[in-house]
C-alpha cells in the first residue's frame, strides 16, 4: 500500500503487531481503492474516441492504472470521458448518461470540442460550445485530439482529485465543479 | 478539356431524343457532365434513366444555395452499377421562395434519406416523399443551416450557442 505514509505506521516496538497491523484513515483507504480502479464509461462521440481506444490498447495500456474496464453501462462507471464533438442533438443524451452514473462520479472533457467547441466555435451551428455547459467537468484535456499520454495525464489528475474525497461529504458539494451558465 | 466518355454521350443523346426541349441545358465537357431540367420533368426523366438507361444507382443528391437571387439547386448523380464509370448528373433549379421538387424515392430507394438530408440542411421540399422530416439536425431545429442567409440561433434549449 504505497499511499499509506510511513509516519502513520508508528506502532511502537512490539514485533508481533508491527508486521501485521496497518493504521490509516478510512477516507484514505477508500480513496485509494477508488482511484486504483477508475472505471470509465464506454462511449465515444467522434475522433477523440479513436485516441481513447489507443489509450486502452496495448501500446499505452490504461490497464496499468486500473482503468482498463470500460463499462458498457453508466451504472457501473466512475468516470465519463467525453471523447469527441458534442452536438446539440447529442447533448441531452450525454446529460442523461451523466445523471445515470452513481456517485462519486467524475467527468473528463477530452479534446478541443468538448473543452470549448474547438474548431466549431464560430461556424458550428450544431455544436455545443463546451460540455461544461451541461455537466460539471473535473478535468479538461486539450488537444485535437489529445495524445494518449495526455489522456493518461488527465486520468492521473482525476486520481489526485479522488484522493481528496471525504467519505462523510455525501453531496460532494465542495468537490463538484460548476456547470457553466451564461 | 476532359475527354468525354462515349457512353455518357450516348446516354445524353438517348435522353435528348426522348425529352427534346424539356432538357433546358446540357454540358458534357466538364468534370461532371450534366443535364438540366425543370422540376415538372424530373419524375418522368428519373424513371426513364432508371428503366431505359440502366442508371440503377442514385450515388449522390446534393443541395446548393446558389445565392445572389439564383435560388436553390439540387444535383442528382446517377450511375450504372453494371457499366462502371457511366453516369451523369441532373441539375434542377428552384426558386428560393417556393423550392419544390417532386420526390424520386419511388424510383431509387436511396433517395429517401438523401431527400430528407437535403430538406434538413438546404430546405428543398420534395413533394410526394412519405416522411420528409429532419435527419441530421434535432427535430425541433429551426431553419435550414446550409442556406446562405442562415443565422445560427443564439440559444438552443437555454444553452448559449453563439459565443464568438
- State the ipTM, two decimals: 0.78
CATH of the domain at B134: 3.30.460.80
Asked if the structure places residue B64 within a domain, the reply is yes
Residues of chain B neighbouring A93 (CB-CB closer than 8 A):
none
- From CA A82, how far away is CA A52, in angstroms rounded? 10
Query: How much is the pLDDT for A1?
Result: 45
pLDDT at position A5 is: 53
Evaluated on CA atoms A100, A102, A105, A111, the torsion sign reads: negative
CB contact under 8 A, B164 and A122: yes
State the pLDDT at residue A149: 95
The distance of A92 to chain B (nearest Cα, Å) reads: 10
Looking at beta carbons, which residues of chain B come within 8 Å of A134? 159
Position A16 scores a pLDDT of: 56
Q: Which long-range CB contacts under 8 A does A147-154 form with residues at least 24 apart? A: A147/A51, A148/A51, A148/A54, A148/A55, A148/A59, A148/A60, A149/A60, A151/A51, A151/A52, A151/A55, A151/A62, A151/A81, A151/A110, A152/A55, A152/A60, A152/A62, A152/A65, A154/A108, A154/A110
Lowest-confidence region among A178-182, B124-128, B140-144: A178-182
Structural domain boundaries enclosing B28 = 6-152
What is the pLDDT at residue A173? 63
A 10-39: CB under 8 A from B: none
Does position B90 have pLDDT exceeding 60, yes or no? yes
Give domain status of residue B160, yes or no. Answer: no
| Residues 6+ positions from B163 with CB-CB distance below 8 Å | A117, A121, A129, A182
CB proximity under 8 Å: A 46-85 to B: none
Please check whether residue B84 lies inside any domain of the structure.
Answer: yes
Global confidence as pTM: 0.81
Which residues of chain A, if any, have pLDDT below 50? 1-2
Yes or no, beta carbons of A129 and B152 under 8 Å apart: no
The predicted model gives B28-35 an average pLDDT of: 88
The more confident residue out of A160 and B163 is A160
CB crowding A96-116: b at 16 or more within 10 Å, else e: ebbeebeebbbbbbbbbbbbb
Has residue B143 been placed in a domain? yes
Contact A125 B157 (CB under 8 A): no
Domain annotation covers residue B163: no
Residue B62 has pLDDT above 90, yes or no: yes
Q: Which residues neighbour A59 within 8 Å (Cβ) at sequence distance 6 or greater?
A: A148
Is residue B61 a part of any domain in this protein? yes
Q: What is the pLDDT of residue A7?
A: 52
Range 86-115 of A in CB contact (< 8 A) with B: 88-89, 91-92
Residue B123 lies in a domain: yes
Please count the structural domains in chain B. Answer: 1
Amino acid at each position: 500500500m504505497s499511499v499509506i505514509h510511513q509516519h502513520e505506521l508508528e506502532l511502537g516496538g512490539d514485533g508481533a503487531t508491527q508486521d501485521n497491523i496497518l493504521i490509516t484513515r478510512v477516507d484514505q483507504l477508500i480513496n485509494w481503492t477508488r482511484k486504483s480502479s477508475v472505471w470509465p464509461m464506454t462511449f465515444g462521440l467522434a475522433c477523440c474516441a479513436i485516441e481513447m481506444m489507443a489509450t486502452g490498447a496495448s501500446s499505452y495500456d490504461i490497464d496499468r492504472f486500473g482503468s482498463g474496464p470500460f463499462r458498457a453501462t453508466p451504472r457501473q462507471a466512475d468516470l465519463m470521458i467525453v471523447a469527441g464533438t458534442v452536438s446539440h442533438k447529442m447533448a441531452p443524451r450525454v446529460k442523461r448518461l451523466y445523471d445515470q452514473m452513481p456517485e462519486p462520479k467524475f467527468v473528463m472533457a477530452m479534446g478541443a470540442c468538448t473543452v470549448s467547441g474547438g474548431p466549431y466555435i464560430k461556424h458550428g451551428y450544431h455544436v455545443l460550445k463546451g460540455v461544461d455547459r451541461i455537466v460539471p467537468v473535473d478535468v479538461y484535456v486539450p488537444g485535437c485530439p489529445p495524445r494518449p499520454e495526455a489522456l493518461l495525464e488527465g486520468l492521473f489528475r482525476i486520481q489526485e482529485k479522488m484522493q481528496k474525497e471525504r467519505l462523510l461529504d455525501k453531496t460532494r458539494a465542495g468537490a463538484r465543479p460548476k456547470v457553466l451558465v451564461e | 478539356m476532359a475527354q468525354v466518355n462515349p457512353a455518357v454521350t450516348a446516354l445524353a443523346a438517348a435522353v435528348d431524343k426522348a425529352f427534346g426541349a424539356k432538357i433546358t441545358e446540357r454540358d458534357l465537357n466538364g468534370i461532371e457532365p450534366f443535364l438540366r431540367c425543370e422540376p415538372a420533368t424530373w419524375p418522368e426523366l428519373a424513371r426513364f434513366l432508371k428503366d431505359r438507361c440502366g442508371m440503377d444507382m442514385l450515388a449522390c443528391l446534393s443541395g446548393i444555395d446558389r445565392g445572389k437571387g439564383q435560388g436553390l439547386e439540387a444535383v442528382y448523380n446517377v450511375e450504372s452499377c453494371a457499366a462502371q464509370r457511366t453516369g451523369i448528373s441532373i441539375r434542377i433549379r428552384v426558386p428560393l421562395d417556393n423550392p419544390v421538387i417532386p420526390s424520386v424515392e419511388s424510383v431509387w430507394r436511396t433517395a429517401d434519406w438523401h431527400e430528407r438530408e437535403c430538406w434538413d440542411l438546404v430546405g428543398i421540399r420534395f413533394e410526394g416523399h412519405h416522411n420528409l422530416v429532419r435527419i441530421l439536425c434535432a427535430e425541433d431545429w429551426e431553419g435550414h443551416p446550409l442556406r446562405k442567409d442562415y443565422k445560427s440561433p443564439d440559444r438552443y434549449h437555454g444553452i448559449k450557442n453563439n459565443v464568438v
